[in-house]
Amino acid sequence: MRTISSNLAVQSLSLRRGARTLIDALDLTLEAGEVLGILGANGAGKSTLLNVLAGLAAPEQGCVTLDGQALDTVPPLTRAHYIGLLPQGDEGGFFGSVNDFIALGRYPFGDAPGNLASQLASWELVELAQRPLDTLSGGERQRARLAQLAVQAPRIALLDEPLTHLDPAHQARLLAWARSEADAGHTVVLTLHDPNWAACQCDRLLFLHGDGRWQLGGTAELLTPDSLEALYGAGTAALWRRQA
């Protein structure tokens, strides 16, 4: 079992889009061994926050540190040894095979992907390994993107709406993978929309209201009908099926 971890923290972080404040004065430390779920309506700042945590964008105010060092001073290839990001969009423009695409996860390390075969099997991609990536369905491509991140084996995995395009079986597989990574001492951050999936594996939740306000707490504390309607709007509490 892997137990090496890294600490990613933000202090007094503020994000804006034009004149609109998305997040105001966020203090957050990502804990080793946890799955953190981020929920919020479309445009609330979830993707923007993940890009800041990955070092791909700068906050308007505040700082992000990796093991106590300012993240913007860490070289990109070094950052990739610690932090992995699954963006929300399918970037496109890759014309090689599925196998070649997944192997890119080891690029920051300059070595061969020793666990490539196991990840192909884990994400049910063995029979697709030699297919051109752009011939796959949306769900198959999403699984290839997840396999690439798993091959990278980051200590902090940031996944932006990773359940997109996946059928229920592979959604469950993704959440089980997130739990196993946390159990190995790593940190996983997921942006999600379904509160029921958030309840399955998340240890803590971060609610982004899109107007500067945010809430951070345990799943039992935040997953209530009232809090969901405050986050998403009237009538949305019906989406939540409280766990027995």
Q: How confident is residue 242, by pLDDT bands cut at 50, 70 and 90? A: low
CATH architecture for the domain at 17-91+155-239: 3-Layer(aba) Sandwich (3.40)
- Work out the percent of the chain whose per-residue pLDDT is above 90: 83
Query: pLDDT tens across 169-184, in order?
Result: 999 999 999 999 999 9
The pTM assigned to this predicted structure is 0.94
Nearest residue to 145 via CA among 187, 84, 65:
84
5 pLDDT band, cuts 50/70/90, is: low
User: Where exactly are the structural domains of the chain?
Assistant: 17-91+155-239
Q: Which amino acid is at 230?
A: A
Give residue 110's pLDDT. 86
Rounded distance, CA 236 to CA 232, Å?
A: 6
Q: What is the mean pLDDT of residues 158-175?
A: 96
d(CA 85, CA 98): 18
Cα separation, 153 vs 20, whole angstroms: 36
For residues 154-168, give the mean pLDDT.
Answer: 96
Give residue-wise pLDDT tens across range 200-241: 899 999 999 999 999 999 999 999 999 999 999 988 888 776
Tokens in use for 202?
Answer: 């998340």
